[in-house]
Amino acid sequence: MPETAPVPTFSSVWERAVRARADETFLIFEDPNCQVTQWTYQQFDSDVQRVAARLYAEGVGAGSCVHLALTNCPTFVAVWLAANRLGAWIVPADPLGKEPEFAEQIERTCPTVGFCSTSRITQYRAAAANAAAVAAVPAVLAGSTPAEPMTVIEIDETDASFALFGESGFSAWAEPKPTDLAAVMFTSGTTGRPKGVSVTQANYAFAGEVMAQAAGLTAQDRQLVVLPLFHANAQYYSFASAIWVGASVALMHTFSASGFLPQAARHQATCASLFAAPLRMILARGGPVEGLRLRHCWFAQNLAEDQYQTICDWFGCRPRQLYGMTETIPAVLTDEPTNPRPDSMGFVTRGCEVEIHDSNGARCADDELGEVVVRGTPGITIFAGYFEDPATIAANYRGEWFRTGDRARRGGEGRFFFDGRRSDVLKVAGENVSTVEIESVLCAHPLVLEASVVGAPDPIRDEVPMAFVVAADAANPPEPEDLLKWCDGRLSKHKQPRGVTMLSELPRTSVGKIRKFLLEDSVQQGVGVS
């Protein structure tokens, strides 16, 4: 029998790219002031070595955790690569998250080092201190010495010099195994407590291989990255695929609807990845530009036919829809290069396994609605599991199949068509948002008895959270504005309700379950929420 090829690690994929493409461009970074810095693969690897030396000096080694609360910047990329080559793993967080969100992540993952922008450092340090205090209680009760709190490193996200990390290099790299942890990405779930998706070295490598192949990516391509780096999309679909083939990446500090196409032209990008919501923003605020070289663009979620046609005209290519989750690693459904459709998620991606199952776990017939399920080898071709949460892992699997909770149908020709999502998760501009998490925050307010959150249609962000609240004391109800401020201090922007409606009671079934469809009906009448 032929020998099975060894499973690559993400660290080995980077090392291979540096050897093969040493003098070719790897990264172009445009900061908020439109200043541009460029690195070859070899030059950036030198900076990765400098970052690794600092991490190692701070105690980061095999099995260590590094927390990242940074916007798009070269430091994020270098810390990611350095940590993985040291055998450590990262926790990429929404940099605009709130103190309680940071504190929970830090408490659960016990990072050795945390990175945050100087502009947001006060609440980050407070979160680290709170997490350390909570974590110390069990140790003190057990009579042992609490673990050292993590080291916090402040970063100027506009600084591309890496001066903070000194000049010393590092070469005593670990040799991580394919199934070693490389990242834990927290994503909202139906339990209300964010789930930590465990991503391995092999997972990143597999994402890079599959997504490069699906896009027809070559070393001559250049990815334009405007989506946030803490999100799986930018990591899996753009950076990992570029590194797999030795292509280059043009990284923008943040997304600009009016600036996207000029940036694509300015940096001669050939490939990009977006959601439907940013595409609609580009339609509203952008316009066609000269000098584009875009040949390919991924996008998620449906576009109207007229919107899609205008995007095609402006981009000079036909964007292709895909479907994936943080847990599935690559996009397991991708549309074909020729004749892609804006209303279809496409076909099963080569190297992936996807089916539509009914409520009993049987495979659905063509055009029959059911749940999207994905099968793979945990830690290799699908995520390794939920971080220290075996109960949630078990609840999301039926046999070998991971249950996404999303509904779809498969046409006779093999195309998949999306038909909705689980009731407790909203899709806000491409971000999964747990209604249960928002409800928990609202119910923590001293004047709130109970709350229910549903999605309202929005022409730009697809849907946004809307809250229905019952006061603890009908004679002393909270003001909706006060509840919005309460959420603003505890939830990231995309999770915050866009409106609060006070009710005397929530509609319920005979057994006490909230009849959310009645609340949904009340918000579906509007055309959107500002």
What does the pLDDT read at residue 212? 98
Closest C-alpha among 384, 80, 382 to residue 207: 382
**What CA–CA distance (Å, rounded) separates 196 from 111?**
14
DSSP state of 253: S
The model carries a pTM of: 0.85
What does the pLDDT read at residue 188? 63
**What CA–CA distance (Å, rounded) separates 236 from 248?**
15
Q: DSSP letter string over 340-386?
A: --TT--BEEPTT-EEEEE-TTSPBPPTT--EEEEEE--BTTTB--EE
Q: Tens-digit pLDDT profile for the chain (530 aa)? A: 455 779 999 999 999 999 999 999 999 999 999 999 999 999 999 999 999 999 999 999 999 999 999 999 999 999 999 999 999 999 999 999 899 999 999 999 999 999 999 999 999 999 999 998 876 555 445 555 556 789 999 999 999 999 999 999 899 999 999 999 999 999 864 345 789 999 999 999 999 999 999 999 999 999 999 999 999 999 999 999 999 999 999 999 999 999 999 999 999 999 999 988 889 889 988 889 999 999 999 999 878 888 999 999 999 999 999 999 999 999 999 999 999 999 999 999 999 999 999 999 999 999 999 999 999 999 999 999 999 999 999 999 999 999 999 889 999 999 999 887 666 778 898 888 888 789 889 988 999 988 999 999 888 888 899 999 999 899 999 999 999 999 999 999 999 999 999 999 888 754 456 788 889 888 876 544 44
What does the pLDDT read at residue 512? 53
Name the token pair of 304.
Answer: 């109207």
What does the pLDDT read at residue 133? 82
* 28: phi then psi, degrees, rounded to nearest 5: -120, 125
DSSP state of 514: B
CA dihedral 176, 177, 180, 183 (to 10 degrees): 60
**What CA–CA distance (Å, rounded) separates 374 from 376?**
7
What does the pLDDT read at residue 280? 87
Q: DSSP letter string over 61-95?
A: -TT-EEEEE--S-HHHHHHHHHHHHTT-EEEE--T
Say yes or no: domain 425-524 is CATH 3.30.300.30.
Answer: yes
What does the pLDDT read at residue 435? 85
Task: Determine whether 41 is exposed, middle or buried from the number of CB atoms within 10 Å of its CB (0-12, 13-18, 19+).
Answer: buried
